[in-house]
């Protein structure tokens, strides 16, 4: 088995790829005249100037909105469909960060603060921070040690069943709802100004999700809150995994179906999405050879694409190293990626790992009782 330090280094190395691609694409952007106001791409409307009243945060949000507005604007269907797919993959990605932090073996460790990891993710890039998180997780994981070390895995992996049971609802409140608000069409349903506010609000989804999770978990523990005192950790985790993967599968297959059958949105909703190809959606310009981008929208799309590629590659490598049977895991990951995307497939493999470890622990406990 690969030594876990070497495995962690291999996972963390994807952060270098992420940083390089991000830096290269940012350098390719046309210089912004500091005397001119920032404009929303494709419009003559200026980006909203004030969001929080704190200059540094507002300037950061104004730049972010320039990159995110094309996703929800409509004229770039390839980018919009890609973003819908990526949003669905963020659900299992955030779930992995939250669930790893809830494990008994990770309590009070650097991995047990998902809000902090999420804010760093938003401030830097997921392609930089997620490989580092996964590498640290791999260093702590008992599955990186000898294959017969079952007792440590059984004591390390369990999660608080009440806290696990509220993760899907917290994701719905903290991430899915802000995503839907941001995607509301303007000016038909919301104003352009409101859309910018929702885009800015979306940037805080790690804090919103963590706050929602804390509140929902506290409510569930309260008398009459519905928390089952005798609920097993695996039963709660199993339910959470199923609900999260269902959400991910719908967004993944839905976005692919629209790309492959562009007549679907026109027939169902009277919306013309054009004819974006899978290549246009998922394949970025290569930053490892001389390249040019036509403008801010193409550069933004490429930045998101590299985020997707780097995060997915690091996650797939991470969960493969966690596995005992690499061949079986790789085959399952490839098949499941078709159904739920790469990060959905990663979460599914984590579920497999938990089921296997808990089953072994139960069998070992039964064996001790019969002796």
Cα end-to-end distance, the chain, whole Å: 32
pTM tops 0.95, yes or no: no
CA distances to 16, 96, 200, 291, 360 from 152, in Å? 32, 20, 43, 49, 11
| 133 contact partners, CB below 8 Å, separation of at least 6 | 97, 111, 117
Rg over CA atoms, the chain: 22
Decide: 190 and 240 in contact? Cβ < 8 Å.
no
In this structure, what DSSP letter does residue 109 have?
Answer: S
pLDDT value at residue 363: 65
Rounded CA-CA distance 340/343 in Å is 8
pLDDT value at residue 307: 96
CA distances to 73, 133, 179, 199, 276 from 76, in Å? 7, 32, 18, 17, 9
Kindly state the tokens that stand for 22.
């991000």
pLDDT value at residue 36: 64
pLDDT value at residue 197: 96
pLDDT value at residue 228: 56
pLDDT value at residue 144: 42
pLDDT means per 10 residues in the chain (371 residues)? 82 95 87 71 89 93 93 89 96 96 92 94 92 94 56 79 95 97 92 95 96 95 68 86 97 91 69 77 90 86 95 96 89 97 97 86 61 58
pLDDT value at residue 147: 46
């Amino acid at each position: 088995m690969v030594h876990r330090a070497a495995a962690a280094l291999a996972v963390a190395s994807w952060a270098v790829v992420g940083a390089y691609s991000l830096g290269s694409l940012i350098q390719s952007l046309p210089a912004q005249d500091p005397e001119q106001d920032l404009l929303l791409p494709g419009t003559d409307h200026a980006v909203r100037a004030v969001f929080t009243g704190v200059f540094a945060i507002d300037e950061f949000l104004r730049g972010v909105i320039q990159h995110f507005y094309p996703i929800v604007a409509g004229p770039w269907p390839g980018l919009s469909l890609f973003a819908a797919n990526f949003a669905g993959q963020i659900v299992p990605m955030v779930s992995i960060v939250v669930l790893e932090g809830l494990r008994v073996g990770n309590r009070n460790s650097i991995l047990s603060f998902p809000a902090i990891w999420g804010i760093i993710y938003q401030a830097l890039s997921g392609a930089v921070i997620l490989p580092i998180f996964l590498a640290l997780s791999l260093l702590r994981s008992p599955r990186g040690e000898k294959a017969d070390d079952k007792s440590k895995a059984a004591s390390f992996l369990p999660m608080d069943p009440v806290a696990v049971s509220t993760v899907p609802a917290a994701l719905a409140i903290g991430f899915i709802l802000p995503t839907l608000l941001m995607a509301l069409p303007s000016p038909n349903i919301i104003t352009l100004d409101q859309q910018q506010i929702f885009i800015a609000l979306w940037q805080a989804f790690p804090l919103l999700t963590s706050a929602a999770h804390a509140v929902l978990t506290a409510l569930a523990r309260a008398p009459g809150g519905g928390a089952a005192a005798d609920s097993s950790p695996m039963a709660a985790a199993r339910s959470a995994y199923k609900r999260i993967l269902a959400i991910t599968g719908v967004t993944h297959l839905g976005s692919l179906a629209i790309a492959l059958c562009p007549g679907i949105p026109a027939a169902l909703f009277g919306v013309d999405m054009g004819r974006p190809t899978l290549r246009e959606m998922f394949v970025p310009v290569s930053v490892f050879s001389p390249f040019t981008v036509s403008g801010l929208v193409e550069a933004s799309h490429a930045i998101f694409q590299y985020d997707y590629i780097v995060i997915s590659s690091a996650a797939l490598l991470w969960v493969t190293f966690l596995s005992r049977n690499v061949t079986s895991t790789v085959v399952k990951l490839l098949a499941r990626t078709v159904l739920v995307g790469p990060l959905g497939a990663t979460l599914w493999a984590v579920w497999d790992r938990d089921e296997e470890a808990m089953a072994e622990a139960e069998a070992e406990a039964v064996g001790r009782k019969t002796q």
